[in-house]
Structure 1
Amino acid sequence: MEILGIATNIAEITANKLVISKIEDGIDLIGNVYYQGYDNVILYEQNITPEFFDLSTKMAGEILQKFSNYKMRLAIVGNFSNYQSQSFKDFVYESNKLGQINFVNSKSAALKVLSEP
């Protein structure tokens, strides 16, 4: 895993493997990024276990609540049209509307949303 500072206070997490495979991984990531002084994070769908996107596991809720508690904004970049669950679609819609957690389809969209106040 590599944390790249790509813009003012935005960390991009890149890896050739899963970065988050369990709740503790998400919490560790927040701690590492927070310690390095970032309060905005770009994370890629392919680096997150598929269980995260199944809301019945409660993994997303627990990890994303920690992002909120630390006032850390997150943009998850991926293709979310593959997820057919209506509850997941509603979750994405509400998250994007609030702006703390964002589901976007490109790095440029992530940079845009995280650069807005």
Structure 2
Amino acid sequence: MEIKEYIVEEIKVAEVISNEILIQHTDDALDLMGNLYYQGYDKIIIHQKNITPDFFDLKNKMAGDILQKFSNYRFRLVIVGEFSHITSKSLKAFIYESNKGKQVNFLSSLNEVLKLKK
């Protein structure tokens, strides 16, 4: 795993780069958040390919549990991936509602992330 650092509007952002699935369970996300928080980061960018596909099955509540933790700790999360192919209406609605706020966003490119305002 590699961390690429960005500073966006005075916010320290960590892009997590890996060829492996890094988040298999809720605890993996909490560990990642904790490690990056203690390194002084305010926001995490993680790629869709680094998160278990189970995360995107809302029935198992994994996404809700993980995103609630990020919200509780006020630690911003951006998941970068290809979400246009999603057929689940509930997942589409979940992503749409998340993207209305600033805490958790689902975006298609790193360029979109770096243009986000505080």
TM-score, normalised by the number of residues in structure 1: 0.93
Q: Does 1:5 align with 2:8?
A: no
Name the CA distance, whole Å, in 2 between partners of 1:16 and 1:6.
20
Is the 1:19–1:48 contact (alpha carbons within 8 Å) kept by the matching residues of 2? yes
Which contiguous aligned blocks of 4+ residues in structure 1 show a shift greater than 4 angstroms? none
After alignment, is 88-97 or 7-16 more displaced? 7-16
Identity %: 53
Match among 26, 33, 39 for residue 29 of structure 2: 26
- Which deviations, in whole Å up to 9, do the C-alpha atoms of 1:79-111 show, x marking residues without a partner? 012221101000001000012100000001011
Separation of aligned partners in 2, 1:38 and 1:70: 13
Matched, 1:16 2:7: no
Provide Cα deviations, 1:22-45, integer angstroms capped at 9, x if missing partner: 111011011011110111111100
With normalisation by structure 2, the TM-score equals 0.93
- Give 5+ residue unaligned stretches, structure 2: none
Deviation at residue 52 of structure 1 after TM alignment: 0.3
Structure 1 segment 1-117 matched on structure 2, within 5 A: 1-7=1-7, 8-113=11-116, 116-117=117-118
SS at match of 2:111: helix
RMSD: 1.0
Instruction: State the AA in 1 paired with 2:73.
Output: Y
Between the aligned partners of 1:29 and 1:95, the Cα distance in structure 2 is: 20
CA distance in 1, matches of 2:86, 2:29: 21
